[in-house]
Amino acid sequence: MDEMTREIAIIGDHFMLPEVFAEKLSQACGPAVSIRARKDNWPDEPMEHGYARPGMDGLKEYFGDAEGVVDFVGAAEILVTQLAPMSRAMLERLPALKMIAVSRGGPVNIDMAAARDHGVLVVNTPGRNASAVAEFTLGAILAETRRIRVGHEALRAGTWRGDLYRADVTGRELNEMTVGVIGYGNIGTRVVRLLRAFGARVLVCDPYIQLDPEDAAAGVLLVPLSRLLAESDIVSLHPRVTDETRGMMDAAAFAAMKPGALFVNTARGPLCDYDALCRALEAGHLGGAMLETFAVEPVPADWPLLQLPNVTLTPHIAGASLRTVTHAAEQAAEEVRRYLAGEPPRNAC
């Protein structure tokens, strides 16, 4: 190997395909890099959590045996991965490692304090799936508001729901509804643009932002949470999980929503008190819910929300699109190119 060639190890999986990352890295970096790759068996096998294994404390949502990862990375200067763990003990055994590119929104599989202590640059790929999640959110809303799921389930069960044409049963159009979007980041801003295209009245709650001038000019309003909950026919959740937002949708929040409103969560399970949501749905206060993420995954088979007729559930797939893969690979490759060229990173963690 040429002494100027820089060594890159890619640990991908059946979603973040290592061959796609290798292709994008080769395009961005040319012959200056030597690439080796392996494909782990996620999502066909479940992820692990650091609290479940000694020596991996503080890591969340990772996939891969520590010993196997260390052996594979070896003398590589750069690691590109989605899920491979990197604990303090692992970093101590990888003195050549100087950069980790994590192809996800947050590097929860990396011990960030240890990385800083070892002088290892960690970058991530924020917004990699923002478009995918925004599209999915609109699909989820339409599945409920236009009775797509209800009609489908009935037909599969052998029932022709002609009554869905009744004015007191049929769905509503987005152009006559108010939609509240909580969180105005990479995903929330895209959801707002899509809702605008449907003609919805849009309210946004996010205390840390100003509205995009184009959204403001189109009539989007930035409002307090209390007003958003009181006026919205649909509430869609898009903030990060922080100490401030954890459990923000609790019994009081659901009680403050309009009677008959729809609740949509394509963000994160810990943002929501699902027991309180279940009670609000069972009591008939809320008209329905669409839930894509959960505090415990997979959800228990006896979970009450699985049994309710006015709830659509999907297994945390909103961000799963082919474009998410290529977008993440392009972002990671650009970060590696910048590192090799001595340029500052775009998304240092």
What's the pLDDT score for residue 181?
98
Mark whether 74 and 197 lie in a shared domain: no
Mark whether 76 and 136 lie in a shared domain: no
Among residues 238, 211, 219, the alpha carbon closest in space to that of 138 is found at 238
Average pLDDT over residues 127-150: 95
What's the pLDDT score for residue 1?
46
The domain in which residue 156 lies consists of 130-313
Degrees to nearest 5, angle at CA 290 with 60 and 224: 85
Per-residue pLDDT band for 3 (boundaries 50, 70, 90) equals low
Catalytic residue positions?
A: 268, 297, 316
Mark whether 138 and 251 lie in a shared domain: yes
Mark whether 137 and 67 lie in a shared domain: no
Q: Which helix (H) or strand (E) holds 327?
A: helix 322-340
Query: Is residue 2 pLDDT above 60, yes or no?
Result: no
Residue 295 resides in a domain? yes
Residue 164 resides in a domain? yes
Q: What is the DSSP letter of 225?
A: H
Residue 347 resides in a domain? no
Which CATH number is 84's domain given?
3.40.50.720
Cα gap 302→307, rounded to integer Å: 8
Give the tens place of pLDDT for each residue, 59-72.
988 999 999 999 99
Residue 348 resides in a domain? no
Give the tens place of pLDDT for each residue, 244-281.
999 999 999 999 999 999 999 999 999 999 999 999 99
Per-residue pLDDT band for 217 (boundaries 50, 70, 90) equals very high
DSSP structure string for 142-194:
HHHHTTHHHHHHHHHTT---GGGGSTTTS---GGGSEEEEE--SHHHHHHHHH
Mark whether 188 and 218 lie in a shared domain: yes
Mark whether 159 and 258 lie in a shared domain: yes
Number of domains in the chain: 2
